[in-house]
Amino acid sequence: MKVPEVALVVVRTHRLEDVCDFYRALGFDFQEEQHGKGPVHFSAAAGPAVLEIYPLPEGASVDASLRLGFFVDDVTAAVDSVRQNGGRVDTKPNSGPWGLRAVVRDPDGRAVELFQR
């Protein structure tokens, strides 16, 4: 059996614009969407998958335990962009078993790993 590919990742937040701005700083190009009477949300291509940012329902709490990882062309430039846009850098770019890697945090505190291609 072939291993499934990731098709969709949905991030939910109370800070829709801040979280979208964070991912825009990494190069994502979001489009505003709404399906029927559903909530307005934002969607961007993430390679063959889609990254969506949805509003979190009132009273629901953010799950900061979600950890995302993305391949980028230039880890150092991506980290600089995050930093210039007010983001937090947990681990500066460094070489390891997976190549050049850094860890940043989105506005809700989710860890986002960046790997250089």
Report how many domains make up the chain: 1
Here the tokens at position 10 are 């949905």
Q: Indicate the pTM of the whole model.
A: 0.91
**Within a domain: 103:** yes
Q: 73 lies in which domain range? A: 8-57+67-116
How far from chain centre, in Å, is Cα 27? 10
Here the tokens at position 83 are 């930093």
**Within a domain: 72:** yes
Identify the CATH number of the domain in which residue 29 sits.
3.10.180.10
**Within a domain: 1:** no
* Number of neighbouring beta carbons within 10 Å of residue 106: 26
Mean pLDDT, 10 residues at a time, over the chain (117 residues)? Answer: 92 96 97 96 96 95 91 96 93 93 96 94
